[in-house]
Structure formats: C-alpha cells, structure tokens
Amino acid sequence: MLKKWTQTNKQWFAPDSRLSKAQWSQLIIDGCVQGKIIGGIPFIEEDHIAGNIILDQTPANDSLDLLG
C-alpha cells in the first residue's frame, strides 16, 4: 500500500531521524525504495519498508544463479 512520505516518516522513524521529501524522492529514483513520485510528492510502498532493514543501497538481485 502506498503511503505519503510524511505518514511513512511518522510511522517508521523517530522524530530526529526522519527523511526529507528530497531524500525520499532520491531513494525512489535510485531504486532503493519502492514507491512513486506523483505530482512531486513521494509515496512509499509500506510493505517494502516493513520488509527491509537497509534502505540506503540498491536491492540485490535475489534470484538463484543455478548455472554459476
């Protein structure tokens, strides 16, 4: 479920560690966080936040390399 970046901040982050609008937007653009930017407003995929510990790097390819 997509949530506005301010709602995600309030639910998942302490007041002194919340990300800015620009930071959320960049994480979405870089593919680090699943979400959409609609009309300049970042919306974050809540399930992605709930299921990941590290958000500052591009997700690794989690498919098995059966030939390697």
Residues sharing a CB contact under 8 Å with residue 12, sequence separation 6 or more, in sequence order: 49
Q: What's the chain's Rg over C-alpha atoms? A: 13
The reported pLDDT for the residue numbered 54 is: 66
Cβ-in-10-Å burial (0-12, 13-18, 19+) of 60 comes to exposed
The reported pLDDT for the residue numbered 24 is: 95
What's the whole-model pTM score?
A: 0.74
Q: Tokens in use for 66?
A: 């059966």
Structural domain spans, the chain: 2-51
Average pLDDT, 10 consecutive residues per value, the chain (68 residues): 95 92 94 94 89 62 55
The reported pLDDT for the residue numbered 51 is: 77
Could you tell me which residues are beta bridge partners of residue 43?
4, 36
